[in-house]
Amino acid sequence: MYNAEIPARAELPSTRQLLRSTLIAAASAAVLLCAVVLPSEYGVDPTGIGRVLGLTEMGEIKVRLAREAAEVPAVAEQRVPAEQSPVVAPTAPDTPAAATEAGQPTAGETPATAVTTPDAPVWRDTVSLTLAPGQGTEIKLKMEAGAEATYAWHVEGGVVNFDTHGDAPGRSISYEKGRAVANDDGKLVAAFTGQHGWFWRNRGKADITLVLKTGGAYSDLKRLK
């Protein structure tokens, strides 16, 4: 066997060189953590580089999938609009007595206020897409803080798990979640300036069709996946 020669003291790195190498390694690790690891694993992008490279969206999907897997399954009730009772027009009375019996106002009485029906929402965009078993998709609206968007979506041929949420550089929020839901509608109010929308996943065993209608104050609609 050959014994390795002990290097001369002059050939060994100095304390200053070791400290410099340590600082360079720590700085490189911090850059990789902020620019790559946090966006791709946790959806947090403090530098903005992750969104440019497409890593932030990947991290957001990973976080949602992990959160979805950890939740206890709970079947949400489908929203079914209440049936409206038919309105029957009263028969015109022939005499004052008949008018009183029919509910018509007499002298000194105030006529009842007519019931008005709210106007139907005005839709700007309608998106229809098909999800295979296990497939997920995400649609986002670009909104300013405090802006309101109306929406309505329904599933044809099954149900979905969903997460209504928003995100911006360094910020995220979850508005509503559901499992085995066939439809949902309402207003989405942006908590901050950024992208706000929905993530759906088909956990069934057959293809489904999801139809989304949106309206209100947003500048752009984008399907991210």
pLDDT digits (tens, 9 = 90+) for 27-46: 888 888 888 888 778 778 78
In the 8-state DSSP scheme, what is residue 195? E
Residue 10, token pair as written in the block: 């002059």
What's the average model confidence in pLDDT over 118-131?
Answer: 88
At residue 164, does pLDDT exceed 70? yes
The backbone torsions φ and ψ at residue 102, rounded to the nearest 5 degrees and listed phi first, read -80, -5
Question: What is the identity of the amino acid at 43?
Answer: G
- Give pLDDT, residue 47: 80
Q: Which domains does the chain have, with CATH numbers?
A: 16-72 (no CATH), 122-223 (2.60.120.680)
**Burial (Cβ within 10 Å: 0-12, 13-18, ≥19) of residue 64:** buried
Instruction: Round to whole Å and give the CA distance between 134 and 63.
Output: 17
Collapsed DSSP state (helix, strand, coil) of residue 71? coil
Instruction: Round to whole Å and give the CA distance between 17 and 135.
Output: 53
The per-residue pLDDT for range 181-192, each reduced to its tens digit, is 999 999 999 999
CA distances in angstroms from 60 to 49, 137, 164, 171, 225, listed in the order given: 15, 12, 13, 11, 12
Helices (DSSP H) in the chain: which residue ranges? 15-32, 38-42, 49-53, 55-70, 96-101
**Burial (Cβ within 10 Å: 0-12, 13-18, ≥19) of residue 121:** middle
52 contact partners, CB below 8 Å, separation of at least 6: none
Longest CA–CA separation in the chain, Å: 128
At residue 163, does pLDDT exceed 90? yes
Model-level pTM?
0.52
- Give pLDDT, residue 76: 42
Instruction: Round to whole Å and give the CA distance between 78 and 73.
Output: 15
Instruction: Round to whole Å and give the CA distance between 10 and 19.
Output: 17
The per-residue pLDDT for range 43-102, each reduced to its tens digit, is 787 888 877 777 777 777 777 777 766 654 444 444 444 444 444 444 444 444 444 444
Instruction: Round to whole Å and give the CA distance between 199 and 201.
Output: 7
